[in-house]
């Protein structure tokens, strides 16, 4: 059987075109797919941007040694310091105005630090203040050290966040864009209508895959470009590898979307199923914070989730500049999910 050679009448092309048109002609899909991730990246990037270090607040109790202590602390430039009488000092400590009260040494007793050890800022203040005063009084550190301040692009929260958002978006657009759309088509008997033609099921499914690819070509440059311009989030590794990894993730979640949609007869069921699949990964797969924060016993499970693996691979490429060899393992996990889901979905899928 030969097909007419005009590409206009290639069924795969027409089906892809139909998917593409249904996608871009629906303003809300455009918002959720393209605008929302950028808004989220912007909001979280601004909320968690790095601020200059907070100064340490301390009070010095009035008395004989107070001016010397006050002077040493003020010269350091690291401490906001004020002199109080005894009542005022305790009041300031209690209300949190200062983190530490310094009682200078007297003839009868040593220098004393008054603070609440359960307050982290108080513990920090004690360490900083003691360090400054000891040095001012002539302490010599036995080991020379050097500080290296890290606030360069690549190690900030936004750098951690962007690959996670990319992974999240690939998951949700795949699940909704395939799973939900297919169930809706089944409910509207459109799948049945298409099945009543000589259309090949293969073409029908490939069109969804092709649509994922088109989506990715829009999503990837948009999110990466935006965060690069606004937050200077850079891709350290190969862009080509990033694209390959994102494509793999996209197809895997397309497969999972297909599996979720394989039996559902109405959109409410589909809705519930998609949320059921997505929720654990939304929370545990290291989108907004590292998946390592979950208890040790859960780690093998969390590591095996497709979104965790995808996020690990994307972060490796974007932040650490990892090559194919370093991300091969997580990518293999992603691929295994994709192939498995697709094969099972083909067995289960309700075409009529």
Partner 1 sequence: MTGNLPSTSENAIELRGLVKRYGTVTAVDGLDLAMRRGECFGLLGPNGAGKTTTVEILEGLNDPTAGEVTVLGRHWATDEAWLRGRLGISLQETHLQERLSVIESLRLFRSFYDHGQDVEALVKLVSLEDKRDTWYSKLSGGQKQRLAVACALVGDPELLFLDEPTTGLDPQSRRQLWDIVLGLRAEGRSVLLTTHYMDEAERLCDRVGVVDKGKLIALGTPKELIATLGGEQVIEFVTDRPLDEAPLAALPGVRAARHVADGWALTVNEVHVSIPALLQHLGRLGAPLHRLSTHHATLEDVFVSLTGRQLRE
Residues engaged in binding partner 1 (CB under 8 A) = 1-4, 8-11, 13-15, 17-18, 21-22, 25-26, 188-190, 192-199, 352
Nearest distance from C-beta of residue 12 to partner 1, angstroms: 8
In this structure, are residues 77 and 261 in contact, taking their beta carbons and an 8 Å threshold? no
Residue 248 CA from chain centroid, whole number: 19
Nearer Cβ to partner 1, position 108 or 197? 197
Supply the minimum distance, in Å, between the C-beta of residue 96 and partner 1: 58
Q: Is the CB of 191 or the CB of 319 nearer to partner 1? A: 191
Q: Shortest distance, CB of residue 302 to partner 1, whole angstroms? A: 39
Q: How far is the CB of 182 from partner 1 (least distance, A)?
A: 13
Q: Which of 190, 348 has the CB closer to partner 1? A: 190
Query: From the CB of 184, what's the least distance to partner 1, in Å?
Result: 10
Q: Alpha-carbon distance 352 to 90, whole Å?
A: 77
Q: How far is the CB of 183 from partner 1 (least distance, A)?
A: 14
Q: What string of H, E and C letters represents the secondary structure of the chain?
A: CCCCCCHHHCHHHHHHHHHHHHHHCCHHHHHHHHHHHHHHHHHHHHHCCCCCCCCEEEEEECCCCHHHHHHHHHHHCCEEEEEECHHHHHHHHHCCCCCEEEECCCCCCCCEEECCCCCHHHHHHHHHHHHHHHHHCCCCCCCCCCCCCCCCCCCCHHHHHHHHHHHHHHHHHHHHHHHHHHHHHHHCCHHHHHHCCCCCHHHHHHHHHHHHHHHHHHHHHHHHHHHHHHHCCCCCCCHHHHHHHHHHHHHHHHHHHHHHCCCCCCHHHHHHHHHHHHHHHHHHCCCCCCHHHCCHHHHHHHHHCHHHHHHHHHHHHHCCCCCHHHHHHHHHHHHHHHHHHHHHHHHHCCCC
C-beta closer to partner 1: residue 26 or 292: 26
> In terms of residues, how long is the chain?
352
Q: How far is the CB of 207 from partner 1 (least distance, A)?
A: 10
The phi and psi torsions of 185 (rounded to 5 degrees) equal -65, -35
Beta partners for 279? none
Q: Which two tokens stand for residue 48?
A: 């968690």
> Shortest Cβ distance from residue 248 to partner 1 (Å)?
29
Of the pair 26, 86, the CB lying nearest partner 1 is at 26
Decide whether 15 or 69 has the Cβ nearer to partner 1: 15
Q: Which is nearer to partner 1, 22 or 290 (CB)?
A: 22
In the sheet where 100-103 sits, what is the strand order?
79-84, 56-61, 100-103, 112-114
Nearer to partner 1, 193 or 232 (CB): 193
We find the least distance from the C-beta atom of residue 23 to partner 1, in angstroms, to be 9
Nearer to partner 1 by C-beta: 265 or 275? 265
């Amino acid at each position: 059987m030969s097909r007419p050679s005009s590409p206009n009448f290639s069924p795969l092309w027409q089906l892809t075109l139909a998917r593409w048109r249904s996608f871009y002609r629906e303003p809300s899909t455009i918002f959720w797919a393209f605008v929302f991730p950028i808004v989220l990246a912007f909001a979280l990037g601004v909320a968690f941007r790095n601020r200059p270090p907070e100064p340490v607040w301390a009070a010095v109790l009035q008395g004989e040694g107070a001016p010397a202590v006050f002077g040493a602390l003020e010269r350091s430039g690291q401490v906001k310091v004020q002199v109080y009488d005894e009542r005022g000092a305790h009041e300031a400590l209690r209300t949190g105005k200062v983190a530490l009260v310094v009682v200078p040494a007297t003839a009868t007793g040593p220098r004393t630090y008054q603070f609440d050890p359960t307050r982290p800022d108080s513990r920090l203040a004690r360490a900083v203040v003691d360090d400054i005063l000891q040095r001012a009084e002539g302490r010599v550190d036995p080991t020379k050290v050097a500080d290296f301040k890290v606030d360069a692009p690549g190690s900030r929260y936004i750098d951690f966040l962007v690959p996670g958002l990319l992974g999240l978006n690939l998951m949700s657009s795949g699940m909704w864009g395939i799973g939900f759309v297919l169930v809706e088509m089944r409910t509207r008997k459109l799948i049945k209508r298409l099945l009543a033609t000589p259309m090949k099921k293969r073409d029908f499914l490939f069109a969804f895959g092709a649509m994922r690819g088109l989506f990715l070509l829009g999503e990837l440059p948009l999110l990466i470009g935006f965060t690069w311009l606004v937050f200077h989030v850079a891709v350290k590794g190969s862009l080509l590898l990033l694209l390959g990894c994102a494509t793999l993730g996209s197809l895997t979640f397309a497969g999972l979307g297909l599996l979720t949609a394989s039996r559902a007869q109405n959109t409410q069921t589909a809705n519930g199923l998609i949320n059921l699949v997505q929720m654990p990964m939304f929370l545990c797969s290291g989108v907004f914070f590292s998946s390592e924060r979950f208890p040790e016993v859960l780690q093998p499970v969390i590591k095996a989730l497709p979104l965790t693996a995808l996020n690990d691979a994307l972060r490796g490429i974007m932040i650490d500049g990892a090559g194919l060899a370093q991300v091969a393992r997580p990518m293999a996990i992603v691929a295994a999910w994709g192939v498995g889901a697709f094969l099972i979905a083909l067995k289960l899928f309700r075409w009529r």
